[in-house]
Structures are given as structure tokens and as C-alpha cells.
Amino acid sequence: MRTVKSYPEAWPLHTPFVIARGTRTEVKVVVVEIEEDGVKGVGEATPYARYGESEASVLAQIAALLPALQQGMTREALQQALPAGAARNAIDSALWDLAAHQQQSSLWQLSGVTAPEDVVTAQTVSIDTPEAMASSALALWQHGATLLKIKLDDNYITERLMAIRAAVPDATLIVDANESWHAEGLAARCQLLADINVAMLEQPLPAGEDAALENFIHPLPICADESCHTRESLAALRGRYEMVNIKLDKAGGLTEALALADAAQQQGFAVMLGCMLCTSRAIRAALPLVPQTRFADLDGPTWLAVDAEPAIKVRNGQLIIAASAAD
């Protein structure tokens, strides 16, 4: 018989995190612990209001599965028992972690993936004045970050991007509009991004309104984030996007995320690996996806005033996998 616990946690940020949808000063996560014969697995997920989730709704979904989990529910059975989302991710991550500890193995070995020594992670510049964003980008660059993710809304796009590019002429930039742009004027904005050598644009249009990307000729890759959750999302993305952003919280855990990464690549999409604001527990759970990714955006824990231990190390814009990996 397993013992199962689930509970919320709040982790303050050291700096407000501002995107098109609003400002965060703390991240609220849900943690699941599953213990069997003295061996414990832990999983974490971040409920996301954009997808109709709250701490209470996620905890209720987990509570509904408590008897099945206590009786030994498998990861495979879990996929059918809950829809994709934070609740399934928290449980799925805990079950992977439990299996790794039971088999005295690593998450890498369990998933059949070879661990790289390190991986370049994007570091995020959140929305502010053009001057403040340029200053933030430069500070990250001076600390060794080479890949910067620029958050934008529908205002001051040219001013912000030109200021950032002037501050960090050699950085690789990716831009995330978080669904805040419109089809009208998109071509000109894409050309601006190409002109200053932006490597990729993420989710410019609202999910459900991205039919405008069909047959839209654009000079840089466009990545689906809010429009891509699981393998079922892929059919609607063909001909609109070149890349998909996979997050465990959207996919409902590593089990579906691994299958999504394989299916996406088979269908011609490049893969980006992302995260919500979270602790290192959530990043560690996603690491087996790293070798398949064009871009990794795993800086969620770097926004925390204090991280969960053991904290994943970030040095010179890289996650140091060998020292902090899926063990």
C-alpha cells in the first residue's frame, strides 16, 4: 500500500515577472509525494490560470485519484484517468521519481536517454521599459547568458527590440508574445524580427485564432506554445508553425511529453522545451527531453528568491546537467 500526499507551496520571486498576461511576484505550485516500502517519489506542477487551473482545482483532481494511487496506479493508467494538465504532471513526475529511486537508477536511465553534460538555457527578459529591458539583457549577457528570451506585449515592440539588440548585439534572441499580437500587422513585425536577427517567434496570435498563420509567409520560425499541449494538438499546427514548445505542465507529465516530442519530430516540427515558473524539482523532471530540443527554456527556478533543494546549477547560461541532473 502506498502513502500519497499532496499539498500547495508558494515560492516568492526575487524580481516581478511580467508577461503580456500580467505580473507575478510569487509562484504557487502543487507537490505530490508517493511513498512505497520506505521509498519516496516527489513531483511538482504549476497550476496555470490561462488553462482554467488553480491550486484548489489541481488538488481536487489529485484527491479524486487517491484510492487508485494508493493501490498502485501505473503511469500508463494515469494517462487515461486524468486529462493533460498540472494535476497529471504532478502525479506522473512523482511516479517517475518513485520508479527511479526504487530501481536505484536515474531518470535518464529509466527513460533510455543519454544525458548531455550541460545545456544552454534561455534566460528571460520580462516586460518593462525599453531601457530597463536592454539593461536586463545586458546584465544577463555579462553573466554568461547567450540565449535570451524576450517577453513582449502589443506595445513598444520596435523600441524594446532595438534597445535590446543594441545592448547585446551578439546574443541569440527569441521573442515570446504570449498570444498578445494580431494577424493585422504581423508580417511587418516578423520582418522587423528577422532584420535584427531574432532566431524564433513564439505564439504571436491567440490559440484558436492561429488559422491566420496558414499559408503565411514569414522569414523566421514560429513556435506554438499555448496552441500545443499534447500529440492531439499537432494536426492543427501543420502548415502554421515550424516548432512546438513542450512543457510538462501542459502535456500532463514526462510520459506524454516524450511521446509528443517523438511525434512532433516525425511530423517535421522542431522541439523547444519550456517550463512554467517553478522550482528545480520541476526542471529535473523534464531533463530527459533536453537532447531532442532546438531551444531549452528552463530558467523558471532562477526567478525564485530561494529554490527547492537540491537546486539545479546554472552557470554562464547553461544548466550544469552532470552536477544536478535527473538523479
Give catalytic residues, as residue numbers. 151, 247
For the chain, strand residue ranges (E) read: 3-19, 22-36, 39-45, 118-120, 123-125, 147-151, 172-176, 198-202, 222-224, 243-246, 270-273, 295-296, 314-315, 318-320
CA gap 298, 2 in Å, rounded? 31
3-state secondary structure 46-66: CCCHHHCCCHHHHHHHHHHCH
* Ramachandran quadrant class, 292 (left: phi over 0; alpha: psi -120 to 50; beta: rest): alpha
Q: Phi and psi of 236, rounded to 5°?
A: -75, -10
The CA dihedral of 198, 201, 202, 208, to the nearest 10 degrees, is 170
